[in-house]
Amino acid sequence: MKTQDMNRDWHATARTLSEALPYMQRYSGAVVVVKFGGNAMGDTAAMAEFARDIVLMRQVGINPVVVHGGGPMINEMLEKLGIESKFLRGKRVTDQATVDVVEMVLTGLVNKRIVQAIMDEGGRAVGLSGKDDDLIVCEADDPELGWVGRPIETNVQVLRDLMGAGIIPVIAPVATGMDPAETYNVNGDTAAGAVAGALKADRLLLLTNVPGVKGASGEIVTALTPEEVRAMIEDGTIAGGMIPKVETCLDALERGVRGVVILDGTVPNACLLELFTEHGAGSLIRHANLPKHGAE
């Protein structure tokens, strides 16, 4: 590369950092819950990039909390064991054999991979499940779904303790029931929303494989209020698998989260684009009287 081109690249990098400074200042001290999932979890390079972004967020004073899924890995293990997967209304029907596999894969494989990736990038991370310290306590979501849980209690003191020590919590969405012997499989988005609500997070970032909520003409709507979301569900603009995602967003807002963003997790540095640029990324859902950025 020519020296002139290298200088141009360095100047572009410096300008980007300078432009990001006001947003870093606004989010300093804020809690940001990130739901991480999808095929990117099985890609080493994508995992490392995600981990680097999380470590950077912590480095500039944000308190990130990662909640992850692991559907592809669960499917792979169930297939190896000859256990049939069934889905009802977008949720995995979970019998006792399935919930045992879900717990094994999420807490023993996926969770530790994410923790290790964060540590490899210079961060400090601790893996948890919703069963640790009764972090997430559930009841049955629907008898037809078996051991699929709906959070009824979220005890986040352990997360506050970790964040206070500069440690990034990484949470697998497996929970206990009112009977401690029970184990529930919890939808990753649902678990992330419950945790974000209990922490009164400034942001909940739902990383998906779509760029956001689409309007009637197919365009991505970058900013929405809860009232607008409900109207779009009512008129059919929001449909299919996007409905449970936006319902998670609305529930999180009702629990005290300041803003929820649905964004494409396959875009490089998606979290940083959302937090540290004016245009953001994806669709931000928040109450109309709150500022777009920052924890003030």
- pLDDT band at 208; cut points 50, 70, 90: confident
Q: Is 212 annotated as a binding residue?
A: no
Q: For residues 95-111, b (16+ Cβ closer than 10 Å) or e, as one string?
A: eeebbebbbebbbeebb
Superfamily of domain 27-285, CATH level 4: Acetylglutamate kinase-like (3.40.1160.10)
* pLDDT confidence band for 58 (50 / 70 / 90): very high
Residues 6+ apart with CB under 8 A from 137: 130, 151, 152, 153, 154, 155, 175, 176, 177, 178
For 137, the 3-state DSSP assignment is: strand
pLDDT tens digits, 134-191: 999 999 998 999 999 999 999 999 999 999 999 999 999 999 999 989 999 999 999 9
Q: What is the pLDDT of residues 82-107, one digit of tens each?
A: 998 888 877 889 999 999 999 999 99
For the chain, the domains span 27-285
Residue 70 marked as a ligand binder: yes
71 in a known ligand binding site = yes
Q: pLDDT confidence of 294, banded at 50, 70, 90?
A: very low
Residue of 157, 156, 138, 133 whose CA lies nearest to 148: 138
Which pLDDT belongs to residue 228? 93
Please check if 92 is assigned to a binding site.
yes
HEC assignment per residue over 230-248: HHHHHCCCCCCCHHHHHHH
